[in-house]
Chains A and B, each alone.
Chain A
C-alpha cells in the first residue's frame, strides 16, 4: 500500500518537474557487434503493433547487428502462448509483463535480473522514480521495467453527449450514471454497457479490496458487495437503454475492434486510460474520459494509478546485454517515445515525459490531463490478485451473463460467487 502511495507521489513529482533536459543519446555497440536475433513479444492491438515495430526499426538502424523477431498477440492469446513457451523453455528474449502476473513469473525464476545492468549503467534509471522501479522489483532486485502509467477510466462518446445536449462531469455517481444513460437513450437511441470491471471498483469504494491480504479468502465477510453488483447488472439489463445480452455476443467487448462503443451502439466503455489512443483511432473519432462512477455513500475514492505494463528479459536469454540495452532504449530514449506517443501509458522517464508534453496532439492531451486529474485524488492501488482470481473472474462473467438473461436472481448469483469463490481461494491457498 505504502509503495503505491509513493508511486502516486512520484508521479506528481514527474508531472511538475518536466523541465529536465534530455541527455544526449549515445550509441554504444551491443553484443560486440556480432549479429544476433532478439525475439520480442507483447500483447496489444494494431496501433500498438505498428508503433512498436517502428521503434524496433529505429533500434535496428542504430545497431545493425541486432535483428528482431516479433510475436505480437492479443491479450487473450498472449498468456496462453507465454505460459506454453515458459513450460518448454523457449520464451522470447524480451516480453511484455503485467502487474497481476509478475509475481508468478518471479516465483518460477523466469525473468532476468536487470539490477546488474542498472549498476553498470546500461539501463539508466536516474530519471525514473524509485516507486515506479519498485513496482517491477522483487526482493530488492529489478526484474521488470515499467513502460507507462495509467488509470481506470470510463470512455464516453463526445458526439453522443453533444447530440443529447449533456455536459460530461469528471466523475458521476451511479445514480447519475443511470439517469444519464436513460436520457441519452431517449434523446439519441444510443445504449449503455455496464461490465464486470465495475465489481472491483465497488470494493474500493467502501475502502476494502476484493481479496484479503493473504489471498486465501475474499476481502469481505459476506456477499453484500456482490449483491449490490448483480442487482446493478439486473436493474440495467431490464432497461431499454442497456445493450441486450444478445448483442454482446455479437459485439465482443473484450476485443477493441468489436467493442460496442466503436460503432456507437453504446456511448460508454469501462477501460484503462492508456487505451484512449487505440479506441479513438479504431473508432475514428474523439472520445472523452471520465473517472469511474461512485456510489453516493462511498467512503473512498475509487480511482488509482498503476503501472500499465512492463518489459522483462527472459532468464534464459543468450543476449542479456542486448536485452538490457534495448529496454533502456525503449523506456528512456526521447526519439523512441516520440514514436510510441505514450500509447502504453504516461512515460515514466521524466526527460521523456517533458519532451512528449511539448508536442502533444489533442488525444494525448486528453489522456495526460486526465492522469493529472486522477493524480490529485488517487488512492493506492489494490494488491496483485491471488491465485485462483482468474477462475473467480470467469465465474463472475458467467453469472453476470446469466443475470442479464434473467436466468438467475441477483441474490442467488451473489451467494454462488461468494460460496464457490471462497472455495477456490481456499483450495489455491493450500
Chain B
C-alpha cells in the first residue's frame, strides 16, 4: 500500500505534457481570467500610464509631446478661471443631485414594497428611465421639454401661468434642468433600495408595533438604520458617477449659458478635442481621479460613524 504512491510521484516530476499543464487548476484559472487581465492592461492600465506621462507635456495630438513638467497643473489652479468654474459647477451638481436622487429612489422604493398586483409593472416603469436615461435621445427630448416653446411652458400656460422662460437658456435654471434629468433616473438606486428593504426582517416591525411604535417611528428607528449599508453603497456609486457627468451637459447645453453647466468632464473634452490641448486634458483627468478618490475615501472614513451593519457589534 505504501509503495503505491512512489511511482506516481516520480511520474509527476517528469516535464508535464501540454494537456496536463493546461489541466492544472491554477493554470486553468489564469487562462479564464487572462482575457480580462489582458483587456485591463491594454485598455486601462497602459492608457493610464500614457496619460500620466502626457499630463506633464504639451501635446497637440498631431505633433510630438513636449515635456513641460508640472506647468499644466500649475496653470489649472492659477491662470484658468474657466477650469475653476467647471470645478465649482461639478461640485454643486454632485452635492445637489446625488442626495435628491437617493431621496427620490428611497421614497419610490418604499412605495414599491407594498404588495399589489401591479407592483411589478410599476417597478419596470420606474426603472425604465435608468435604462434609457444616459442615452442621447433622452437628452434631446429633455431639451425639447424645457425649451421656451416646449412642453413645460405649454403646460404652465394651460394652468394660466404665463411662462415663456427659457429654462435651459437662463443661467439660474439651466443647471437645475440637468439636475432634474439626473434625479429622474433614480431607477437603479431604487432597485438596490428595494433589495435592501426586503432584507429587513418583518419581525422587527411586529415587535415595534406591539411596543406601540407608529409608522414614522418604525421608519426612523428600524428602516433607516438597517438600510444604511445600502444607502452607503448607493451614495458612493452615485457620487462617483456625479463627478463624471458628461452627456447631459454636452448635448443639452454645451456648457452654456455663461459656463453655468460646464461640467468637469465636458471642459476636459473641450480641451482635448476642441483646443487639441491633450496634455492639459490629461492633467485634468488625473486631478479628477484624485478628487473622486478623495471623495470616496472621505465617504468611507465617515461611514464608521453612521453606517450600521447587522451583527457587526
Interface residue ranges, A against B (CB under 8 Å): 76, 79-80, 83-84, 86-87, 104-105, 107-108, 110, 244-250, 252, 387, 390-391, 394, 398, 401-402, 405, 407
Query: A83-B61, A398-B82, A401-B258 are known contacts. Are A249 and B168 too (CB-CB below 8 A)?
Result: yes
B259–A398 touching, CB < 8 Å: yes
Q: Which 6 A-B pairs have the closest CB atoms?
A: A246-B169, A246-B166, A80-B273, A249-B169, A83-B61, A249-B256
Q: Which of A110, A247, A391 contacts B166 (CB 8 A)?
A: A247
A244–B62 touching, CB < 8 Å: no
Q: Taking the complex as formed, is B253 at the interface, i.e. its CB lies under 8 A from any CB of chain A?
A: yes
A280 to B270, CA, bound (A): 30
Nearest-CB residue, chain B, relative to A80? B273
Smallest CB separation, A332 vs chain B (Å): 30
Interface residue ranges, B against A (CB under 8 Å): 60-63, 82, 143, 147-148, 166, 168-171, 174, 253-254, 256-259, 270, 273-277
Nearest-CB residue, chain A, relative to B66? A430
Residues of B within 8 A of A87 (CB): 61-62
A401–B62 touching, CB < 8 Å: no
A249–B62 touching, CB < 8 Å: no
Residues of A within 8 A of B168 (CB): 249-250
Residue pairs across A and B with Cβ atoms less than 8 A apart, 15 shown, are: A83-B61, A83-B276, A86-B62, A107-B62, A244-B166, A246-B169, A247-B166, A249-B253, A249-B254, A250-B143, A250-B168, A252-B254, A390-B275, A391-B275, A401-B258
Nearest-CB residue, chain B, relative to A390? B275
B254–A86 touching, CB < 8 Å: no
Residues of B within 8 A of A86 (CB): 61-62
Smallest CB separation, A57 vs chain B (Å): 29
Smallest CB separation, A408 vs chain B (Å): 10
Nearest-CB residue, chain A, relative to B277? A391
A245–B254 touching, CB < 8 Å: no
Q: Which of A84, A247, A252, A402 contacts B258 (CB 8 A)?
A: A402
Smallest CB separation, B287 vs chain A (Å): 20
Q: Which of B143, B147, B166, B274 contacts A390 (CB 8 A)?
A: B274
A104–B257 touching, CB < 8 Å: no
Residues of A within 8 A of B270 (CB): 394
Residues of A within 8 A of B256 (CB): 248-249, 401
A398 to B260, CA, bound (A): 12
Residues of A within 8 A of B253 (CB): 249
B258–A405 touching, CB < 8 Å: yes
Q: Which of A104, A246, A391 contacts B62 (CB 8 A)?
A: A104
Nearest-CB residue, chain A, relative to B276? A83
Residues of B within 8 A of A407 (CB): 258
A246–B61 touching, CB < 8 Å: no
B166–A250 touching, CB < 8 Å: yes
A83 to B276, CA, bound (A): 8
Residues of B within 8 A of A245 (CB): 169, 257
Nearest-CB residue, chain A, relative to B82? A398
A108 to B65, CA, bound (A): 13
Smallest CB separation, A234 vs chain B (Å): 15
Nearest-CB residue, chain B, relative to A405? B258
Nearest-CB residue, chain B, relative to A84? B61
Smallest CB separation, B149 vs chain A (Å): 9
Nearest-CB residue, chain A, relative to B261? A249
Nearest-CB residue, chain B, relative to A401? B258
Query: A104-B62, A401-B257 are known contacts. Are A83 and B273 too (CB-CB below 8 A)?
Result: yes
A105–B258 touching, CB < 8 Å: no
A189 to B88, CA, bound (A): 39
